[in-house]
Amino acid sequence: MKSIAVVAVALLGLASAVNVEICKHQTKGDCVTIDVIGCTNFPGGWNDQVSSVDTGAAECVFYENGSCGGGAWTTRGRQNTVPTNQNDKFSSVRC
């Protein structure tokens, strides 16, 4: 029984959240930090609003549709702008 508990604790560690900052303006203006675990849809009011991001050390993929669908952009760290053709189009993220 102890081995099952150890495995469960180890798996919980694998599912730890990545803190990602998404911003409505370039160069990190009007931002919110979200906890990303697996595929994470943006919170209310942030769909199709993102112009800059900061993923810290994590590599993340930002998607144009909810549930991690549609066009995607992969990045890591602070990005003062997102690709011009995807500005204000992202709806979800996976790290």
Q: Residue 44 CB: number of other CB atoms within 10 A? A: 6
Q: How confident is the model at residue 15 (pLDDT cuts 50, 70, 90)?
A: low
pLDDT number for residue 46: 98
DSSP H helices, the chain, are: 2-14
Q: Which residue has the higher pLDDT, 84 or 13?
A: 84
**Averaged confidence pLDDT in the chain:** 90
Yes or no: say if 34 and 20 are a contact pair by the CB < 8 Å rule: yes
Q: For the segment 18-59, what is each residue's pLDDT rounded down to a tens digit?
A: 999 999 999 988 999 999 999 999 999 999 999 999 999 999
pLDDT interval class at 5 (50, 70, 90): very low
Better-scored residue on pLDDT, 16 or 73: 73
Give 3: exposed, middle or buried? Use CB within 10 Å, 0-12, 13-18, 19+: exposed
Structure confidence at residue 32 (pLDDT): 98
**How far is the C-alpha of 64 from the C-alpha of 31, rounded, in Å?**
18
Give me the domains of the chain, ranges plus CATH numbers.
17-94 (2.60.20.10)
